[in-house]
Chains A and B, each alone.
Chain A
C-alpha cells in the first residue's frame, strides 16, 4: 500500500510519534501507526530514538524475573517443543466424544436381543480412547453394565480399529488410578470387538482410573495409551 506523502513531513512525523509514545492514541490509530512504522523506516528510527530517550522513566526499577513457565510457553508458541497429542485437552474431548458415540452404537447393536426389546440402551460409565504415538491404531474402551438392570454385572467392551502390530504381539490392558497404582485388566486379543466381565476388584479400581495403557506382555512396550474419563468428566 502506498503511503501518502504527508506522512514524510518531519513535523507530522514528530507529532505522530509523540502521540504514539505517550500512549494517547486510540487503538485504531495505533494500528494505523503500526502499519506506517513498518513502511517508513525514518519513522521507526524516530520512535526508537524517543523511546531510548524516555526509557529511563522505567529503568529505575528492581529487576524481576518472570516465572519459568513463561519460557516454556514461548517455546511452545514457537513450536519448538510441541505439546504431545495426548496432552491436548481438546484432542481428548473431541476424540472421546466421537468414539464414545460410536461405541454406544456398537454396544446398542451388540447387546440388543430381538427377544429383549426392553433393554435397548446401556449407559456407559467410563470411556477411554487409546492411541499410539507412531501408529494409526486406536482402541476404544467402555465400561458399562451388561444390561440396564441395576444389578447387572460390569463389563468392559473394547473396539479396535486395526491390529497394533503385524506380528500380533500379545498385550494386556493396564489401568492406572488417581493414586498412581496400576492394575491389569487382562490380555487383549487382536479383534475388532471384544467384551469381558469385570471382577469386583477391577470395577472398584476403574472408578479411580485416570489412564489406560495397552502394554506388550513381552518387553513392556507401551503400544497404545490414553486418558480414562468417567462419563461425568466427559460431559463437562
Chain B
C-alpha cells in the first residue's frame, strides 16, 4: 500500500518521526510556493514553512480524514500563518513594490484564466466573476493583500473593494460546490 499524505499524517499523529519527515518531503515543495507568493520574501517564507510543520507535528492528532485531505489541512495552516503574519505586522507591501511589479500582479490576477490551458472548476467559476471581483479576489486570496492595500493598488474606495470581495467569495463558494 502506497503511503499517501493522509497515511503519513495519521502516522505523524502517532509520533512517527520518519513518517513526518516523508510528509514534509511530500508537502513542502507544494506549500513553499504558496508561502512565497503570499510573503514575497524567501526568508520569511522559509520561516513560516518551518512554523507550519512544527504546528503540523503538534496538532496532527486533530487532523480528521473525513473533513479534508492532508494537503488541504496543511495548506490551511500554512496560509493562515502567513496571513496572520502579514496582518500582525501590517506589512504594507505596496510601498516595497515597484510600479512594474504592481502592474504585473494586477495583470496576472486579471489574466490568470487566459494563460491556462486546463480550466478546472475554480477557473470556470472565476471566469464568471466580474473583472473587479476576480481581480480583488485573486489579489487578496493568492497574494495576501489586505483591503487597505487594495485601495491604493487599484485606486477604488474601500467600500467597493469590500463589496467586490464579499460578492466574489460568495459566488465562488456557490459556484464551486455546484
Contacts and interface: CB of A to CB of B under 8 A. Distances in A.
Are both chains from one complex?
A: yes
Interface of A: 14, 18, 20-27, 30-31, 34, 44-45, 47-67, 70-71, 73-74, 77-78, 80
B138 A57 contact: yes
Contacts of B141: 21-23, 54, 57
B97 interface: no
B132 interface: no
Main SS of the interface on chain B?
helix
B3 to A, nearest CB: 18
A18 B170 contact: yes
Contacts of A77: 50, 54
A78 B54 CA distance: 7
Interface string B1-39: 000000000000000010001001000111011101100
A53 B122 contact: yes
Contact of A23 (B36, B67, B120, B145): B145
Contact of A58 (B21, B37, B54, B165): B37
A158 to B, nearest CB: 42
Contact of B165 (A24, A44, A49, A53): A24
B172 A61 contact: no
A67 B28 CA distance: 10
Nearest to A66: B32
A70 B28 contact: yes
B139 to A, nearest CB: 10
